[in-house]
Amino acid sequence: MKVLVTNDDGIFAEGIYKLAKKLSEKFDVYVVAPDRQRSATGHAITMHHPLRVNKVKFFDTDILAWAVNGTPTDCVKLGIEAILDIKPDIIISGINDGPNLGTDVLYSGTVSAAIEGAIHGFKSLAISMVSKKDIDYDFGADFSLKIAEKLLEKELPNNTLLNINIPDCSRQEVKGIKVTTLGIRRYKNSFIKRIDPRGQEYYWLGGEIVKEIQNESSDIACVEDNYISITPIHFDLTKFEAIEEIKKWDLKSI
C-alpha cells in the first residue's frame, strides 16, 4: 500500500517525521510537504508565482520526500498530479502541532490538505495533537498507523474524510475513542498595533478562545474529556434545510 503524507507545519517538523517513519513500517511512504511553516493557510492554492519543488533528504530515513514552496493543498495537488508516478491508496495530513477542532477546520492547512485528497477521490485523514507542550508524537504516529489500516479496510461515503484529534494527556490517560461532530470554536480576537523601524504601522493577531457550552457529542467536548475524537467531515457546505425557506423569498422581485 502507498501513502502520501503532508502537513502544514513544514517538511522538517517533528510530527511529520514521526508519522512518516511509523507508516513506513507497513506502507510505501511518499512525503510532499511545505518547505516552511504554513499553518492556518486554509484551502489556499498558489496561482500568482511559480511552485518550486526540491527533493530532500528526509531526516535519517530513506523515505522519498519533496519540499514545496506552497501551501498544504498545493502539496497534495502536486503530489498526485505532478510529482508521483503512482497513485496513493491513502493520503494522511499531520501530525499537527496543536488541535484542529470544531470550526477551526475552516482555517486549518492540515485539514484542508486531507480535504483536497478527498476531492480527488482518495481516502484521506488529518491527525492533530491537542497538546502544545511535551507532545507525544510517537503515540500520535502509532494511532495514525492503526486508523490508516482500518480506513483502508473500510469504506466511507463519497467526499468524506476523517479529522482526528488526540487529547492533551498521556496515552495512559486516554479514555477511549469517540466518533464526534464538529463543535463551535470562536475567538475573542485582538489586533496588536506596533510600529516598525521605518515608522510604518503593522498588526499582530492575538486573542483567546471563547469558552462555550459544547454539545457532548462534539470533538471539543470529547478531547476535553480525554477521548480521541474522530470526526467524519465533507466539503459540501450546502445548508439543505435552508433551501426551501429561501425559495419563499420572492426572489423575482429583486
Angle at 188 between CA 184 and CA 192, to 5 degrees: 145
The Cα–Cα gap between 201 and 199 comes to 7
Q: Is 158 annotated as a binding residue?
A: no
Dihedral sign (CA 241, 157, 3, 120): negative
3-class DSSP state for residue 148? helix
Q: Is 39 annotated as a binding residue?
A: yes
The Cα–Cα gap between 215 and 222 comes to 9
CA-closest candidate to residue 219, choices 143, 88, 128, 95: 128
Cell of 227: 477521548
The Cα–Cα gap between 229 and 8 comes to 20
The Cα–Cα gap between 165 and 150 comes to 17
Tell me: cis bond preceding 95? Omega within 30 of 0 counts: yes
Q: Is 9 annotated as a binding residue?
A: yes
The Cα–Cα gap between 174 and 33 comes to 30
3-class DSSP state for residue 57? coil
Residues contributing to the annotated binding site for a divalent metal cation: 8-9, 39, 96
Residues contributing to the annotated binding site: 8-9, 39, 96
